[in-house]
Amino acid sequence: MAEYFRPLVICDPVRPRDAVGLAGGWGWFTHAEVLSRNRSGRVIPAADIPAGVLSRLTGPRADIAGLSMEHPRLMGILNVTPDSFSDGGRFLQKDAALAQAGAMGSADMLDIGGESTRPGSAPVLVPEEIARTAPVIAALRQSFAGVISIDTRKSEVARAALESGATMLNDVSAMEYDAGMAPLAAERDVPICLMHAQGTPETMQADPQYDNVLLDVYDALAGWVDRAVAAGIDRSRIVIDPGIGFGKTMQHNLTLLAGLSLFHGLGCPILLGASRKRFIGTLGNAPDADDRMPGSIAVALAGVAQGVQILRVHDISQTRQALTLWRAATRGTTP
């Protein structure tokens, strides 16, 4: 019977002697919840976690495209699309996209997407997706010193983005959509984020079903990470994303958010992309996506409290302020 170990993360600056650090970051734990598919969870001391699992939970994460994972990082969302769920059409033109990038100047990373993956969206042809993203990336590379990520399922789009100056890949299909993505990532030796999704954007919200959403998503990501490594991608170059809102109901999303620390067991940095998602609007009584910033920040901080290293958000300056104050209040001193 397979067992899974979810560290019970604490971020207090004072640690007991038996505490172990989480992923080389700001959190620590003394105990973990042991989960399985056939019985209720139980809590055990960290010292009782199998050595191999404990090593992955505690081992420092490698830098991602030169960016340390010792502190939470903010990835700004820049959709150059006509139909993204939150900001479709606003930044489709290059000048508007660059202005928005400038407004997200405190971002550590920018994620450029030319194809909407909102529920019900249809695929975009490769030439169109390249035309939307490559010129923006090339222009950004002249002024933005941080990590530039290309949000795409297609290897040809990814290659054009890398040639234009992108330094990271973000594939919502976990390299399942295009067989050329894994060889490209291995060839170029760039970091890649593998996201969990059940189904495709066209169908994913029709009727998502899981036996145990937390463990099912974990197992799927573990399999995709193993396949990526087998394809020649160094494990230190892999980021994982549980895919909030991608083939999940509101309850699925909440279960994943409550159990996020489980995913540290994969030994990779975790990316959380929940910004302005529909469940935030439902719970927060905000039908308009533009009104979901406070709820998005609350979810982001809950993720950081579980050791999530990368927050993919629309509202960079507001999230930066919240994160700065969270860290100051947690430590009792200025950052």
Domains assigned to the chain: 1-60 (no CATH), 62-331 (3.20.20.20)
Q: Is 42 exposed, middle or buried (0-12, 13-18, 19+ CB in 10 A)?
A: exposed
Q: What was the pLDDT predicted at 199?
A: 72
**C-beta of residue 223 within 8 angstroms of C-beta of residue 174:** no
For helices 250-258 and 293-304, the axis angle rounded to 10 degrees is 40
Catalytic site residue from 154, 276, 277, 292:
277
Residue 312 falls in the annotated catalytic set: yes
Low-confidence ranges of the chain (pLDDT < 50): 85, 88
Q: Where are any strands of DSSP class E within 128-220? A: 147-151, 168-171, 192-195
Residue pointed to by tokens 């397979």? 2
Q: Which helix (H) or strand (E) holds 324?
A: helix 316-331
Which residues are CB-neighbours of 123 under 8 A, at least 6 positions away?
115
- Residue 138 DSSP label: H
Distance between CA atoms of residues 129 and 81, nearest Å = 9
Q: What was the pLDDT predicted at 30?
A: 98
Q: What was the pLDDT predicted at 203?
A: 65
Q: What was the pLDDT predicted at 101?
A: 80
Catalytic site residue from 159, 276, 278, 312:
312
pTM: 0.94
Judged by DSSP in three states, 55 sits in helix
Q: Which sign does the torsion angle of CA 86, 89, 94, 100 carry?
A: negative
**C-beta of residue 92 within 8 angstroms of C-beta of residue 80:** yes
